[in-house]
Amino acid sequence: MKVDEIVRRVRERSRRLASGLPVANPPLGSDFSLNGVVPVPESWRPAAVLVPLVRRESGMTVLLTQRTDDMPSHAGQIAFPGGRQQAEDADAVATALRETEEEVGLAPCFVDVIGPVDLYRTGTGYEITPIVGIVTPGFITRADPREVADVFEVPLAHFLDERNHRIDSRVWQGRERRYYAMPYGERYIWGATAGMLKNLHFVLTAGE
């Protein structure tokens, strides 16, 4: 998919979301969308992630992280760089860029922010704003060893091909939960990360 088309589609989605214009609902709004249950905590905790689309000569890639095995939550899972919004962050974009630089060393000067896409709510009470950005090559990653075990890239084409989307399940808190998974080789990409990628697939392929 060409960069210009990605930018056009994301910017249009961002514009319509910001202005309150009607938009088609994305496939997933929360971790529990596939189970017909949406958790309603007393208050959602705002967070943001960067969806870094790297402009490679061989085609666009998505930069992802693998969390360390000793993290207090989501240990070992694959995620976008990002985290909880802090008081000093001006907005979700500031959160996503700050967290990305802290976690993987990707400086904001390499990121052309395109805009936010649909919110995603997690079973742990976070309301995540995914911020899509086009990343210019030349950066050097530097993983924070306290949080990030690995930084890697997956071709965007892998996530745009619906044949690579599947629904898996596991028992959690005594109930069977279903969720999207998009494995890539030995990488098991699932849960909120796969959910946000499913929504990005929707934004980038709607009408095709």
In the chain, the N- to C-terminal Cα span, in Å, equals 12
pTM of the model: 0.93
pLDDT at position 40: 67
At residue 38, does pLDDT exceed 70? no
Contact (CB, 8 A) for 186 and 76: no
> 74 or 159: whose pLDDT is higher?
159
Read off the tokens for 112.
Answer: 């052309």
For residue 175, the one-letter residue type is R
How many Å apart are CA 40 and CA 110, to the nearest integer? 37
Q: Is 55 exposed, middle or buried (0-12, 13-18, 19+ CB in 10 A)?
A: middle
pLDDT at position 90: 95
Strands 120-121 and 126-135: antiparallel
What is the share, in percent, of the chain residues with pLDDT greater than 90?
77
Contact (CB, 8 A) for 113 and 31: no
Calculate the average pLDDT of the chain. 92
Q: What is the mean pLDDT of residues 105-118?
A: 97
How many Å apart are CA 159 and CA 176, to the nearest integer? 25
Rg for the chain (alpha carbons), in Å? 16
Q: CA distances (Å), 37 to each of 29, 121, 147, 204, in order?
A: 11, 12, 30, 26
How many Å apart are CA 204 and CA 134, to the nearest integer? 14
At residue 26, does pLDDT exceed 60? yes
At residue 170, does pLDDT exceed 70? yes
Q: Is 44 in a helix, a strand, or coil?
A: coil
Q: How many alpha carbons fall within 13 Å on the CB side of residue 111?
A: 24
At residue 156, does pLDDT exceed 80? yes
pLDDT classification of 113: cutoffs 50, 70, 90: very high
pLDDT classification of 33: cutoffs 50, 70, 90: confident
Contact (CB, 8 A) for 108 and 131: no
At residue 17, does pLDDT exceed 90? yes
pLDDT classification of 23: cutoffs 50, 70, 90: very high
